[in-house]
Structure 1
């Protein structure tokens, strides 16, 4: 099965604020596009924009190839940690002959005192070796490495999307409800500072 001939040439995988803003820009500029969100909630966040078709639901590489049939430009604006999705988007774009662009947040210089690590596993290892509380904002699917840290349930607070499935994953992983924050970003610096305090 292939995408309809009338499918727009621009496709946007919009898993971030930047993806939503790109959809809003395309709509305002009169550029038709099809936007993809991994969840129904993500689709709702995209809203109804003139000229923008929204597909909500996860796609594997084969689904993506079918969906991207007829696309000329594919924009990957998924979450920075969605490496599997990004790989599938690149592979499917290549398979259908579409140009694939990555829309990512600009990298900012880290403030003094900030520790940078290469992965979630490295972050969990760092937290295991350093005492104190932490606010985890890496998502409900990335909790397993943190649960191997001694006293994780008392030390860590988790901020995830306010979806029943995300909250359930946190509870199932061993976090108490009092250590789970269900909120939708974007978050201001002031709100983040307040949460950290």
Structure 2
């Protein structure tokens, strides 16, 4: 039995492949919407965030003998918890890391290493800032950017009730919220940038599977500056970037 950290579209595809390869797994996801697509494939799912200790407890109860971490490239806490849980239980940890997007050295892209650094860079630039980094770190940006009268902050995120409540709590007006579920094509990105008169886009290097290329290329074509947050640097140990490699590794190790 494999404890499988999922949640993204490519993680779901990998889970389906493992299931069809007769590798038994229990998937863990954060939201019910992510769970629904896995359950439709007959994959058992546990919903909710887990600490390292809770994850270790689940491993013991379910009799899992491996952990496959296919969480989002920016789900740093989840990955750390998974590695620690595997260590506590003395079982192998395998990371499935979606390939990075190669963005080159375009002068319109400013690479930063943290959300705080991105907020500071946006504050320096002023203008209309479109934030596409999700709700989890929203407060980092609202605290730094909303008080500035020379900045208009537009937040793009998933159309979930808790996200809208967080926007309201942090002071983002409804007219400046784009509640849509991607992925978005280049044309739609351009239309949104033009509609709001965006001057800077803040996004994360979440790979082509996360459509970062569509967001960035659309912005650069429109002459809009991009603040790109680099991925967290974690030492995952055993790591693969393709579903084929993960299936092969797990098949070789037995169930």
How does the TM-score come out when normalised to structure 2? 0.67
What residue in structure 1 maps to residue 126 of structure 2?
131
Unaligned runs of 5+ in 2: 195-255
Q: 1:30 to 1:185 in 2, by over 3 A?
A: farther
What residue in structure 1 maps to residue 40 of structure 2?
48
Q: 1:154 to 1:127 in 2, by over 3 A?
A: closer
1:186 matched to 2:162: no
Residues 13-68 of structure 1 show CA distances to partners (whole Å, capped at 9, x for unaligned) of 10222211111212332322111101223212434213x21111121222100112
For residue 82 of structure 2, the aligned residue among 84, 89, 100 is 89
Q: Relative contact order, CA 8 A, sep 6+: which one is greater?
A: 2
Structure-2 separation of matches of 1:153 and 1:65: 48
Structure-2 separation of matches of 1:153 and 1:40: 39
Structure-2 separation of matches of 1:141 and 1:56: 18
Are the aligned partners of 1:160 and 1:182 in contact in 2 as well (CA < 8 Å)? yes
Q: 1:191 to 1:73 in 2, by over 3 A?
A: farther
For residue 16 of structure 2, the aligned residue among 6, 12, 24 is 24
Moved more, 57-66 or 26-35: 26-35
What are the residue-to-residue correspondences of 1:30-179 with 2, within 5 Å? 30-50=22-42, 52-69=43-60, 70-110=63-103, 112=106, 113-147=108-142, 148-149=144-145, 150-151=147-148, 155-179=152-176
**Deviation of residue 153 (structure 1)?**
9.8
**Deviation of residue 152 (structure 1)?**
7.5
Structure-1 separation of matches of 2:19 and 2:98: 21
Structure-1 separation of matches of 2:8 and 2:53: 23
**Deviation of residue 89 (structure 1)?**
0.9
How does the TM-score come out when normalised to structure 1? 0.86
What residue in structure 2 maps to residue 6 of structure 1?
none
Are the aligned partners of 2:6 and 2:69 in contact in 1 as well (CA < 8 Å)? yes
Alignment RMSD, CA only?
A: 2.0
